[in-house]
Amino acid sequence: MSDEDVDVLVVGAGVAGLSVAAGLAATRRVMIVDKGDGSTRWAQGGIAGAVAADDDPRDHAADTAAAGAGLCADRPLAVLVEEGPLRLAELIAAGARFDREAGGALATTLEGGHHRRRVVHAGGDATGAEVARVLTAATRGLTRMGDATVVELTRGPGRCGPQVTGALVRQGDRLVPITARAVVLATGGIGHAYPASTNPAAVTGDGLALALQAGATLTDIEFVQFHPTVLHTGGRLGQLPLVSEALRGEGAVLRDAAGVAFMAGRHPLADLAARDVVAREIHAVLQRDGVDHVHLDATALGSELLRHRFPTVLAACAAVGVDATREPIPVAPAQHFLCGGVATDRWGATDVPGLYAVGEVAATGVHGANRLASNSLLEGLVFGRRVAARLTLELPGAARGTLPAAPIARVVPRSADVAREVLGRYAGVRRSGAGLAAGLAELAALERADGLPAPTEWTVAGAVLAAAAARTESRGCHYRDDHPLRSEWWRRSVHVHRAETGLPAVVVDDVASAA
Ligand code: SIN
C-alpha cells in the first residue's frame, strides 16, 4: 500500500472531470483517478450553445425547460445557457476544431427539442472525441491513475464537523489510500446498471453509490433517458452504438416495418420531438407489431452528406453489415443518460462537506425531467469550470496535513448481473407501480440471500426503482402506465438517501418547485 496526498482528487476523466482538473492545474495539486473509457469520447451529436447571430441564450433556456417538463431549476439553467458560449470559445482557443461552414462560421445542426440550429459539432459526428483530445492535452502534466476504481470514500474531522478526506483506490492488485482536501465525483451516468446502454462498460453508477453511502442526497434519479435510435444488433446487450439524433436533424425519418413514417402526426416536431416522446412512440410500435426494432431511413440525405457528417454512424452500421447510404438503419431505444444524480448547488457542492459532484453524476437541476439533446457535454464544460473556481476559493494556499481517515463507503462488485436485469425489466421506457414494487422486492430478497455488502449496481438499481416508485405521475422520461398523466402536485423532487440497512430511503419534497 502506498500513500498519496493531494489538494483535489477528481474521480473520472470525461468532459466534467477534465474541466475541473484543467481549471485547477496551475494552482493546486490535482490527481485524476479513472476506470477507463467514459461516455465523453463516444458523444456524437455535439454541444448546444446560442452562438448563432439569430439565437439567444433565453431561447436555448426555453427549449431546455420545455424538454425538462416543468422541473428545470431556473438559476442553474440560466448559468448553463449563458456561460455555455464562453466555455465553447475557451475550448476553441485551447485548440478544439469544430466543423465550420465554407465562410468560416461555426457549423450548427438541429436535434430533438431544439427550435433552432444551435448544436456545434466536430469531425462530423465525433464531437466528444475532439473535446476529450483538447482537455486531455490541457491536463497532461497532472498525476493520473488509469484503470483504477474508488472503492471507499474516507472522512475525518473538518472545520465544520466531519468531512470527506480522500479515498481508497484499487488499481490492479494494489490499494492506494489518497488523502485529499476535496473529492470531486465526475463518474458519469449509470449505463451499465442497465443491461444495454450507449455508455461504455465502465459506466456503472459508482459515483452515485459512493455519494449515497457517504450520506449525500440523490435527486431526480427516476428520470432515466432512453435514446430512441440506438443501433439494433440482433438483441446484443452491453454497450450499443448510438445513431445520432443529428441524423433526424438533417432529415432522416423513422419508419415501421411497413415503411410508414410513424412520427408524422404524433407530435408537432414529428421525428424531432423530445427523446422521451420518440422513445415511447417507438416502444408502442414495437409492441403493436411484435418486433424488436424499427428503422431510421437516412437514404434521402445522400451518400456525400452522410459520409461527410456521419462517418462514425456509417462505420458502426457497416460493422453489422448495413450500408446506411442505401438502406434503412435498424434501431431501438436503449438507456443513454441519467437526468438526476447527486444533488449539488450551482458550484458543485453536495450536502456532505468535502464532497463535490459534476457532470452526469450530478443533479444541478438543469435537466429537470428530461435532458435536451447536446446539453450534456455543455453541462460538463460549464459546471466543471465552476467547481474549479469554487475549489480555488475554498482551498486557499497549499497548507496541508494528513487528516485522520476512516473508511465510510465500500463498493463491492457482486450480484451485479441480477440487479442490472431487474432494473432493465422494471425501470425502462414504461414503468408501473406493480412492476417497480416487484423489482424492489427482488432486490431486497437478493440482499437477504447473500448478506454481503451491496455492489454498485444493486445500490443504483435500488435507488432508481425506489425513486420511480415514489413518483406517481408521468413526466419527462419517467412514464407510469398506472399514472399516465402529469400532475401539478408533482412539480417537486424525489430525494434518495442511504438507509441504515436495506434499500435506499426516499423522501418527497414537501414544497413544489417555483420553476
Ligand atoms: C446524439 O447524438 O443523438 C446524442 C447527443 C446527446 O445525447 O445529447
Please tell me if the CB atom of residue 276 comes closer than 6 angstroms to any atom of ligand 1.
no
Q: Which of 29, 87, 275, 480 is catalytic?
A: 275
Distance 45 CA to ligand 1 centre (A): 5
**456 Cβ inside 6 Å of ligand 1:** no
Question: What confidence tens digit (pLDDT) does each residue in 371-413 have?
Answer: 999 999 999 999 999 999 999 999 876 544 444 445 545 444 4
244 lines ligand 1 (CB under 6 A): yes
On whether the pTM is more than 0.85, the answer is yes
Which residues is 157 bridged to in the sheet? 162
pLDDT score recorded for residue 26: 94
Active site residue 425: no
Q: Can you spell out the DSSP letters for 291-319? A: -S-EEEE-GGG-HHHHHHH-HHHHHHHHH
The minimum-distance atom of ligand 1 relative to the CA of 112 is 3
Q: Which residue minimizes the CA distance to atom 2 of ligand 1?
A: 45
pLDDT at position 406, please? 53
Query: In the prediction, which pLDDT does 400 show?
Result: 46
CA distances from 358 to 104, 180, 186, 218, 343 (A): 33, 17, 5, 13, 10
Q: Which amino acid appears at position 208 of this protein?
A: L
Give the residue among 388, 331, 398 at the shortest CA–CA distance from 358. 388
**What residues contact residue 315 under an 8 Å CB cut-off, 6+ apart?**
none
Q: Are 153 and 167 in contact (CB under 8 A)?
A: yes
Task: Report pLDDT for 396.
Answer: 72
Q: What pLDDT, on a 0 to 100 scale, did the predictor assign at position 37?
A: 81
Q: Which atom of ligand 1 is nearest to the CA of 336?
A: 7
What pLDDT score was predicted for residue 403?
A: 44
- Cα 53 from chain centroid? 29
Ligand 1 within 6 A of CB of 45:
yes
The CATH topology of domain 233-332 is Flavocytochrome C3; Chain A, domain 1 (3.90.700)
Q: What is the mean pLDDT of each run of 10 residues along the chain (515 residues)?
A: 79 98 96 93 94 96 96 98 98 97 94 94 96 96 96 88 93 94 98 96 96 96 98 92 95 97 94 93 97 98 96 97 98 98 98 97 98 97 98 75 48 69 97 98 83 82 97 98 97 94 87 68
pLDDT in tens, 25-55: 999 999 999 998 889 999 998 999 999 999 9
Domain residue limits, the chain: 233-332
Q: What pLDDT, on the 0 to 100 scale, is given for residue 128?
A: 96
